[in-house]
Amino acid sequence: MVKVEIVESNSPYASQASSRTSSSASLSSVSSELEQDESLFDRLAALVDIVPPTTRHAISERVAKSASFLKRGGKLAGNFVWILTTSALLVALPLALVLEDEAKIVAQEREFLEQQQGQQQMLAPMYPPNSNQQKALVPPGF
């Protein structure tokens, strides 16, 4: 903050030397006050008087409208995310579990069929095909 000092002089036309010393003394007191613990908030608060009230009011309204818009948008986004996640839990999760169970059943059936085919292949050399089957396998004309 700026400290104002009243300098008394005997004549209204004081010499330049005396005014120079008093101004330098007041400047040194101002600089010593600035070096004290003055926060950024204090400096910004001091700037309030520089901005005209109409401009301050317009800025305040714009900031309030922006904050209201962001709050409303955040609330809508939160509601949308809530609906999406609850729908996924109620619909998609059971569907995924059913599809996984069905995939397991299909894999078990495939494995069972492969085992049957493997058993048939192992038993095939033990029982040679009879002559009727060989004739049927050979195309006519040979």
Over the chain (142 residues), the average pLDDT of each successive run of 10 is 74 52 54 68 84 91 98 98 94 93 96 90 68 57 58
Q: How far apart are CA 123 and CA 5, in angstroms?
A: 118
H/E stretch holding 103: helix 93-123
**Which pLDDT does position 2 carry in this prediction?**
75
**Which pLDDT does position 5 carry in this prediction?**
80
Torsion angle, CA of 9/15/17/22, rounded to 10 degrees? 30
**Which pLDDT does position 62 carry in this prediction?**
97
Predicted TM-score (pTM) of the model is 0.40
**Which pLDDT does position 34 carry in this prediction?**
54
Q: How far apart are CA 31 and CA 42, in angstroms?
A: 16
**Which pLDDT does position 122 carry in this prediction?**
81
